[in-house]
């Protein structure tokens, strides 16, 4: 009997394969599993409309853990039999522009998508519970991220140096946000940390120079001190206010009571600038250098060399 090859998909590893339609069963060329031909053919015909299909053979999957991706697709869809996206599995995939993560995925491990510099879209379905350390670090083309309502932990540096990230949605399911989780997100303008979060790491917004609005629980704010250093305060000079869930807006008046608060630093700088301006005017009226208060001779300060007219 002549061989009649038919397109099929391995139910075990998701690979696209060819099987002999005249046989009851066959073997997957990729994972070696013995499979029923008609079941594999039926599995291959299941198509989700509007979804970009990636060749399943591009994924190396072992016992539900995606260990590496060898494809070159611009838009990749992770197979639904993946439970863990392994460490560095997509790292430095510079051609990748979008990734779809199915609800079967529970854990995104360390640096899974790190340095995917052209990654613009992440579709993360409900099911993920842990976004690991540096998972999306240095994904410079990401502009927004919606974290699903299943995530409990956002790891250290998870979105570190995502310099074009302007918005992030953190759901009520999140309990822990690790060190430097959003550090270097220099385009981020506002963040709401939900009431569910009970622990935040050090410098989670370090280098977020455009962050102007922050909402969080008052207890979390007061608990996030390390001696005299506030763990979220680093480089937050653009911050205008912090809003607490009881409706209180935490402004410069309250900020003066707390050490190293970004609002306190901003307020103290404003006071310093105003005092400096008043002092300069007084010196100038007295015929002294407006910069250092030194004596002026022939329109030039004897001490600092400033020319004054």
Q: Is residue 289 part of a domain?
A: no
Residue at a domain's end among 250, 267, 292:
250
One domain for residues 33 and 146: no
Residues 9 and 89 in one domain: no
Q: Are residues 124 and 28 in the same domain?
A: no
pLDDT digits (tens, 9 = 90+) for 82-118: 999 999 999 999 889 999 999 999 999 999 999 999 9
| Domain of residue 125, CATH code | 3.80.10.10
* Inter-CA distances, 281 with 195, 277, 302, Å: 49, 6, 18
pLDDT for 49 equals 31
**pLDDT recorded at residue 273:** 64
* Residue 186 domain flag: yes
Distance separating alpha carbons of residues 54 and 65, to the nearest angstrom: 17
- Say if 183 falls within a structural domain: yes
**Amino acid 9: pLDDT:** 76
pLDDT at 51: 34
Spatial separation of the C-alpha atoms in residues 88 and 113, rounded to whole Å: 6
**Domain match, 87 and 232 both:** yes
User: Could you tell me the pTM of the whole model?
Assistant: 0.69
* Residue 106 lies in domain: 51-250
Is 203 found in the same domain as 78?
yes
Q: What is the pLDDT of residues 145-190, one digit of tens each?
A: 999 999 999 999 999 999 999 999 999 999 999 999 999 999 999 8
- Over the range 12-28, which residues count as b (16 or more CB within 10 Å of their CB) and which as e? bbbbebebeeeeeebeb
Number of domains in the chain: 2
Tokens of 122: 């992440």
Q: What pLDDT sits at residue 37?
A: 76
For residue 286, the cross-strand partners are none
The answer to whether residues 23 and 154 belong to one domain is no
Which positions of the chain have pLDDT values less than 70? Answer: 1, 11-14, 39-40, 42-57, 225-230, 233-235, 237, 246-275
């Amino acid at each position: 009997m002549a061989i009649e090859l038919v397109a099929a998909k391995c139910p075990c590893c998701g690979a696209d394969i060819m099987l002999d339609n005249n046989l009851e069963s066959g073997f997957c060329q990729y994972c070696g599993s013995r499979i029923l031909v008609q079941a594999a053919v039926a599995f291959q015909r299941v198509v989700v409309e509007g979804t970009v299909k990636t060749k399943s053979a591009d994924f190396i999957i072992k016992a539900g853990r995606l260990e590496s991706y060898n494809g070159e697709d611009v838009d990749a869809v992770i197979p639904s039999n993946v439970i863990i996206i392994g460490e560095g599995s997509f790292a430095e995939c510079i051609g990748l522009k979008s990734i779809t993560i199915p609800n079967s995925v529970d854990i995104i491990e360390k640096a899974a998508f790190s340095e995917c510099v052209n990654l613009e879209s992440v579709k993360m379905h409900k099911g993920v519970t842990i976004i690991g350390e540096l998972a999306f670090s240095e994904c410079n083309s990401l502009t927004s991220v919606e974290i699903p309502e299943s995530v409990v932990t956002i790891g250290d540096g998870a979105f570190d140096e995502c310099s074009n990230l302007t918005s992030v949605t953190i759901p009520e399911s999140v309990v822990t946000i690790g060190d430097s989780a959003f550090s270097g997100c220099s385009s981020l303008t506002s963040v709401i940390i939900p009431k569910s979060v009970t622990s935040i790491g050090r410098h989670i917004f370090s280098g977020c120079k455009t962050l102007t609005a922050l909402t969080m629980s008052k207890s979390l704010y007061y608990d996030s001190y390390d001696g005299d250093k506030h763990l979220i305060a680093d480089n937050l000079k653009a911050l205008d206010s912090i809003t607490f869930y009881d409706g209180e807006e935490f402004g410069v008046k309250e900020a003066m009571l707390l050490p190293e608060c970004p609002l306190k630093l901003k307020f103290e700088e404003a006071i310093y600038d105003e005092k400096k301006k008043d002092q300069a005017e007084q010196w100038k009226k007295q015929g002294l250098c407006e910069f250092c208060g030194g004596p002026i001779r022939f329109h030039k300060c004897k001490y600092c060399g400033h020319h004054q007219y």
